[in-house]
Chains A and B, each alone.
Chain A
Amino acid sequence: MSQSRQEPTIIRRILITIALWYIGFFLVLPLMIVFASALHQGVGVYLSSLHDPMTLAAIRLTLLTAVVAVPLNLFFGIAASWAIVKFDFRGKNLLLTLIDLPLSVSPVISGLIYVLLFGAHGAWGPWLKAHGIQIIFTPAAIILTTLFVTFPLVARELIPMMKTLGNDEEEAAITLGAGGFKTFWYVTLPNIKWGLLYGVLLCNARAMGEFGAVSVVSGHIRGLTNTLPLHIEILYNEYQFTAAFAAASLLVFLALVTLVAKSLIELKFKAEQMPLLKGK
């Protein structure tokens, strides 16, 4: 801090200018273009292109995907973090590594593995076909793929947090007569709530915005298996720019809301964490 103050003013100004221009050019400008393109034929056209039945179907599917994927991964995230932090078992490190897998693998692969599993020529394909179950190219495949892609997000937030918190409070609760559920509900959950919320937020943003993995399993059936990101691509490829950007503006809006919520959570968390750190 004190060192940076000793830098000549001119260097400070140059650095700040570079940073601001960079962000402006590569981040703010494109975002504004999204809204500008969406609205350049007027609000009426903007709204009517959102009212298109295909767009509405895409929005519905995106919401459905998030509504299924987020709670499931919330549950999985808590279970996995609890298992990893509170118990010692064989294969714990393997589990930790595997949780990170979806983040390190290309989204195309994430989609492909489901095609290889459930596709007509996949491992379970013939069996599924014999029983009249179709998974690939249906919303089910989209939800499954999204689950795969987003499943590390909650656990990764919780594990380091729960490690820092330790086991003492839970043990105290048990000796005071609380059962497993009450201990979790009254002691663990309040301590991890901000981390949990943060993880859910990331999970939700990714679930709604995922493109690559979903694209592989979707089959792009209009009104049926197109999520919002896929729908935007189709519109764009068909030169329906206004409609494409109108739909895109929804995703951008989601991103902005996520960003604001994230900042608020971080602020709140810091305010609560400060005394906690002092209290340790």
Chain B
Amino acid sequence: MSIEVKGVSKTFDTFKALDRVDLNIETGELLALLGPSGSGKTTLLRIIAGLEVADEGQILFHGEDTKERKVKDRQVGFVFQHYALFRHMTVFENIAFGLRVKPKHLRLSDAQIKEKVHGLLRLIQLDYIGERYPWQLSGGQRQRIALARALAVEPKVLLLDEPFGSLDAQVRKELRQWLRRFHDQLHITSLFVTHDQEEALEVADKIVVMNKGRLEQVGTPEEVYHKPANKFVLNFLGNVNFFHARVVDGKAYLGNAMIDLPDLHKNSKTASLFVRPHQFELTRQPKDGSSLKAVALTINPAGSVVKIDLKSEGGDTFQAEITQEEFQALRFQKGDTIYVSLRQVTYYEYEI
């Protein structure tokens, strides 16, 4: 089912949680709402579910206004950050709940419910814990049960609020890959809220970057990462180093180094440069006039890449990442002088 969000606003007391938000979600998409806390992402999710009411604007399901539709009739599956499993019910009863509360003429027989619940338990690979209680399970298991419970009623949309937020790093990673595979099997329109950019980039088909109740950018993971629409998106998605450059006659300078920015305007006086850690090239000798002279402050070779904190002549500190192979070849040590070239830069220019 497709979802259309049209001009939705929501204010809590004096806090503007959502400010005229427009968003289209295609059928079968797996979409991430990404943003810092307080950006309105959870509020948007809850409004789509009907758990909150928008002050203004509309939510359309398949082109149909949902205003008159109660939460229980919206056919949305909602997965809560803290699972919200029914604590006094077994896993089996938790999953069966949505089937059991259906009106009598729509309800499946006990045998059918049993079959369906076991089918779901197999789907989430937890067939052996049906008789246990939620408190006897690990966080990852609980979250999978919560998902199975939401899926039992065959919702048209699946909404997940920070689904991996309270799990530890290892389980998080496993579970999000599992969610991706899961979605590829079921193709149910899904939205999940996260503040973890890595999670959004890895799992989602499309990412909606939110900040202060507004949408900053909507795009594929590739688009938002490589073509950030603005500084906020750039900053929020992945580490990024910031430099403040002087501009003279259409050329940008960082200290003595001249940075080649092709389309600089003649009238610009300053420019903000954003460089991701992997977009630096580090050398022992200056390559040309564009190399920035810097000193290695710390070197951390543990991990898939080597992280080097540097301080430039001009006093800017920044972090660069090089591959283990490069590091083996160059053998930098703390305190070494390193020349830095910028392979790729995102910049914003100003006439002041």
Residues of A within 8 A of B (CB): 168-169, 171-179, 182, 186-187, 190-191, 275-276, 278-280
Contact A278 B84 (CB under 8 A): no
CA distance in complex: A173, B88 (Å): 13
Contact B97 A176 (CB under 8 A): yes
> Which chain A residue has the least Cβ–Cβ distance from B46?
A171
Contact A177 B101 (CB under 8 A): yes
The one of A169, A175, A278 in contact with B71, judged by C-beta atoms closer than 8 angstroms, is: A175
Tell whether A169 pairs with B135 under 8 Å between CB atoms, given A177-B101, A178-B97.
no
Contact B134 A279 (CB under 8 A): yes
User: Which residues from chain B contact A173 at a C-beta distance below 8 Å?
Assistant: 86, 97, 101
The one of B78, B82, B87, B97 in contact with A191, judged by C-beta atoms closer than 8 angstroms, is: B87
B45 to chain A, nearest CB (A): 11
Contacts A186-B97, A279-B135 supplied; 9 other A-B pairs, CB < 8 Å:
A169-B84, A171-B80, A171-B84, A172-B149, A173-B86, A176-B150, A179-B101, A191-B87, A279-B133
User: Which residues from chain B contact A280 at a C-beta distance below 8 Å?
Assistant: 82
Q: Which of B72, B74, B102 has the most CB of A within 10 A?
A: B72
User: Which residues from chain A contact B135 at a C-beta distance below 8 Å?
Assistant: 275-276, 278-279
Q: Which residues of B33-90 have CB atoms within 8 Å of chain A's CB atoms?
A: 49, 51, 71-74, 76-78, 80, 82, 84-88
Number of inter-chain CB pairs below 8 Å: 72
Contact B72 A174 (CB under 8 A): yes
Q: Is B153 an interface residue (CB 8 A)?
A: yes
Contact B101 A168 (CB under 8 A): no
B150 to chain A, nearest CB (A): 7
User: Which residues from chain A contact B101 at a C-beta distance below 8 Å?
Assistant: 173, 176-179, 182, 186
CA distance in complex: A171, B161 (Å): 13
Give the size of the chain B interface in residues (CB under 8 angstroms).
29
CA distance in complex: A145, B133 (Å): 44
CA distance in complex: A31, B98 (Å): 54
- A-B contact list, 27 entries, CB within 8 Å: A169-B84, A169-B86, A169-B87, A171-B80, A172-B78, A172-B85, A172-B146, A174-B51, A174-B71, A175-B51, A175-B74, A175-B76, A175-B78, A176-B97, A176-B98, A177-B73, A177-B98, A178-B98, A179-B101, A190-B88, A191-B87, A275-B133, A275-B135, A276-B87, A276-B135, A279-B133, A279-B134
CA distance in complex: A275, B152 (Å): 26
CA distance in complex: A2, B98 (Å): 51
CA distance in complex: A179, B72 (Å): 7
CA distance in complex: A173, B80 (Å): 12
User: Which residues from chain A contact B150 at a C-beta distance below 8 Å?
Assistant: 175-176
Contact A168 B80 (CB under 8 A): yes
> Which chain A residue has the least Cβ–Cβ distance from B81?
A168
Contact B88 A176 (CB under 8 A): no
A165 to chain B, nearest CB (A): 9
Residues of B within 8 A of A (CB): 49, 51, 71-74, 76-78, 80, 82, 84-88, 97-98, 101-102, 133-136, 146, 149-150, 152-153
User: Which residues from chain B contact A275 at a C-beta distance below 8 Å?
Assistant: 133, 135-136
> Which chain B residue has the least Cβ–Cβ distance from A272?
B88
A60 to chain B, nearest CB (A): 38
User: Which residues from chain B contact A171 at a C-beta distance below 8 Å?
Assistant: 51, 78, 80, 84
> Which chain A residue has the least Cβ–Cβ distance from B133?
A275
> Which chain A residue has the least Cβ–Cβ distance from B100?
A186
Contact A279 B87 (CB under 8 A): yes
Contact B72 A191 (CB under 8 A): no
Contact B84 A172 (CB under 8 A): yes
CA distance in complex: A177, B149 (Å): 12
> Which chain A residue has the least Cβ–Cβ distance from B49?
A175
User: Which residues from chain A contact B152 at a C-beta distance below 8 Å?
Assistant: 176
The one of B82, B87, B134, B153 in contact with A176, judged by C-beta atoms closer than 8 angstroms, is: B153
A84 to chain B, nearest CB (A): 19
CA distance in complex: A280, B134 (Å): 10
What 7 pairs across the A-B complex have the smallest Cβ distances? A279-B135, A176-B98, A168-B84, A275-B135, A175-B78, A172-B84, A178-B101
CA distance in complex: A94, B84 (Å): 31
CA distance in complex: A182, B100 (Å): 10
User: Which residues from chain A contact B74 at a C-beta distance below 8 Å?
Assistant: 175
Q: Which of B82, B88, B133, B134 has the most CB of A within 10 A?
A: B88
Q: Which of B78, B80, B82, B84 has the most CB of A within 10 A?
A: B84
CA distance in complex: A177, B88 (Å): 19
CA distance in complex: A168, B72 (Å): 15
Q: Which of A169, A172, A191 has the most CB of B within 10 A?
A: A172
CA distance in complex: A191, B86 (Å): 9
User: Which residues from chain B contact A179 at a C-beta distance below 8 Å?
Assistant: 72, 101
CA distance in complex: A179, B87 (Å): 19
A212 to chain B, nearest CB (A): 40
CA distance in complex: A191, B84 (Å): 13
> Which chain B residue has the least Cβ–Cβ distance from A193?
B88
